[in-house]
Amino acid sequence: MENFFNVLINPLPVEVALSTELKAREIKNCHDIERLQDYAVAVTKNSAMHDYVLGAALARIIELEEQQHLKPSHIRKFLKKFV
Protein backbone atom coordinates (compact mmCIF):
# COMPACT_ATOMS: atom_id res chain seq x y z
CA MET A 1 0.00 0.00 0.00
CA GLU A 2 3.00 2.30 0.29
CA ASN A 3 2.98 2.87 -3.48
CA PHE A 4 -0.49 4.44 -3.28
CA PHE A 5 0.64 7.01 -0.75
CA ASN A 6 3.87 7.70 -2.63
CA VAL A 7 1.78 8.87 -5.57
CA LEU A 8 0.03 11.35 -3.29
CA ILE A 9 3.24 12.91 -1.97
CA ASN A 10 5.52 12.91 -5.01
CA PRO A 11 6.29 16.30 -6.53
CA LEU A 12 4.55 17.26 -9.76
CA PRO A 13 6.25 16.16 -12.97
CA VAL A 14 8.23 18.98 -14.60
CA GLU A 15 5.80 19.15 -17.53
CA VAL A 16 2.81 19.66 -15.23
CA ALA A 17 4.65 22.25 -13.14
CA LEU A 18 5.62 24.18 -16.29
CA SER A 19 2.10 24.04 -17.70
CA THR A 20 0.72 25.26 -14.38
CA GLU A 21 3.22 28.12 -14.21
CA LEU A 22 2.40 29.23 -17.76
CA LYS A 23 -1.33 29.24 -16.98
CA ALA A 24 -0.71 31.17 -13.74
CA ARG A 25 1.26 33.81 -15.65
CA GLU A 26 -1.49 34.06 -18.25
CA ILE A 27 -4.04 34.66 -15.48
CA LYS A 28 -1.84 37.26 -13.75
CA ASN A 29 -1.43 39.16 -17.02
CA CYS A 30 -5.16 39.19 -17.81
CA HIS A 31 -6.88 42.52 -17.18
CA ASP A 32 -10.35 41.48 -18.36
CA ILE A 33 -12.30 41.08 -15.09
CA GLU A 34 -15.26 39.36 -16.77
CA ARG A 35 -12.95 36.78 -18.36
CA LEU A 36 -11.27 36.19 -14.98
CA GLN A 37 -14.65 35.76 -13.29
CA ASP A 38 -15.74 33.22 -15.91
CA TYR A 39 -12.47 31.38 -15.45
CA ALA A 40 -12.83 31.37 -11.64
CA VAL A 41 -16.35 29.94 -11.94
CA ALA A 42 -15.16 27.22 -14.34
CA VAL A 43 -12.23 26.32 -12.04
CA THR A 44 -14.55 26.15 -9.02
CA LYS A 45 -16.98 23.81 -10.81
CA ASN A 46 -14.13 21.69 -12.14
CA SER A 47 -12.59 21.45 -8.66
CA ALA A 48 -15.90 20.32 -7.17
CA MET A 49 -16.20 17.60 -9.82
CA HIS A 50 -12.62 16.45 -9.18
CA ASP A 51 -13.26 16.32 -5.43
CA TYR A 52 -16.37 14.22 -5.99
CA VAL A 53 -14.68 11.80 -8.40
CA LEU A 54 -11.58 11.40 -6.21
CA GLY A 55 -13.72 10.87 -3.11
CA ALA A 56 -15.82 8.24 -4.84
CA ALA A 57 -12.71 6.50 -6.18
CA LEU A 58 -11.07 6.50 -2.76
CA ALA A 59 -14.24 5.11 -1.16
CA ARG A 60 -14.30 2.33 -3.75
CA ILE A 61 -10.61 1.53 -3.18
CA ILE A 62 -11.23 1.30 0.57
CA GLU A 63 -14.27 -0.92 0.03
CA LEU A 64 -12.37 -3.30 -2.27
CA GLU A 65 -9.34 -3.40 0.02
CA GLU A 66 -11.52 -4.25 3.03
CA GLN A 67 -13.32 -6.97 1.07
CA GLN A 68 -9.99 -8.47 0.04
CA HIS A 69 -8.40 -8.42 3.50
CA LEU A 70 -11.53 -8.62 5.68
CA LYS A 71 -10.16 -5.94 7.99
CA PRO A 72 -10.09 -2.14 8.08
CA SER A 73 -8.20 -0.61 5.19
CA HIS A 74 -4.81 1.03 5.62
CA ILE A 75 -6.26 3.97 3.73
CA ARG A 76 -9.18 4.27 6.16
CA LYS A 77 -6.76 4.22 9.10
CA PHE A 78 -4.62 6.88 7.39
CA LEU A 79 -7.63 9.12 6.65
CA LYS A 80 -8.91 8.88 10.25
CA LYS A 81 -5.83 10.89 11.27
CA PHE A 82 -7.21 13.87 9.34
CA VAL A 83 -10.93 13.66 10.08
DSSP state of 25: H
**How many whole angstroms separate alpha carbon 25 and alpha carbon 8?**
26
Neighbours of 27 (CB within 10 A): 13
pLDDT one-digit tens code per residue, 16-49: 999 999 999 999 999 999 999 999 999 999 999 9
User: Is residue 1 in some structural domain?
Assistant: no
Q: Domain of residue 72: give its range.
A: 13-80
Listed in sequence order, the residues at least 6 apart from 5 whose beta carbon sits closer than 8 Å to its beta carbon are: 78
Q: What is the pLDDT of residue 1?
A: 47
Indicate the number of domains in the chain. Answer: 1
User: Is residue 75 in some structural domain?
Assistant: yes
User: Is residue 8 in some structural domain?
Assistant: no
Q: What is the pLDDT of residue 51?
A: 95
- Helix runs in 1-83, H state only: 2-9, 14-28, 33-69, 74-80
User: Is residue 3 in some structural domain?
Assistant: no
User: Is residue 6 in some structural domain?
Assistant: no
